[in-house]
Amino acid sequence: MRAPPGALPALAVLLAGLSAAPSRGQPYSEKGISVPDHGFCQPISIPLCTDIAYNQTIMPNLLGHTNQEDAGLEVHQFYPLVKVQCSLELKFFLCSMAARRS
């Protein structure tokens, strides 16, 4: 099976956005220690990602989403590409961006 039209360009845009994303750390002291600026651990509720190797995440994610609902909407765009199973790692990759490991 072939990937749906537009799926590969959308994936390329996602990857380009990740490489341009700024660091979210804030200085902790003069020694240069950085502490991530995030919330608390929460169970993964993104439907595509509920059966991956871990079940807790922290928001914001690596794409800048502050909640799992928004992250799930973005990841859902790639569901047709995951469904055709061109890559066994694609689902885990997408989920690790949308619902990072806590």
Name every residue whose Cβ is closer than 8 Å to that of residue 28 and which is 6 or more positions away in sequence.
Answer: 34, 35
pLDDT at 12: 59
Tell me: pLDDT of 27 over 50.
no
Q: Which one is predicted more confidently, 54 or 33?
A: 54
What's the pLDDT score for residue 32? Answer: 56
User: pLDDT grade, residue 73 (50/70/90)?
Assistant: very high
The separation between CA 46 and the C-alpha centre of its own chain, rounded to angstroms, equals 10
**pTM (whole model) above 0.75:** no
Domain spans of the chain, in order of start: 41-98
68: nearest Cα among 55, 84, 80, 79: 55
Sign of the four-CA dihedral 42, 48, 54, 60: negative
The answer for 85, left when phi > 0, alpha when psi is -120 to 50, beta otherwise, is left
**Range 41-98: architecture per CATH:** Orthogonal Bundle (1.10)
What pLDDT score does 28 carry?
41
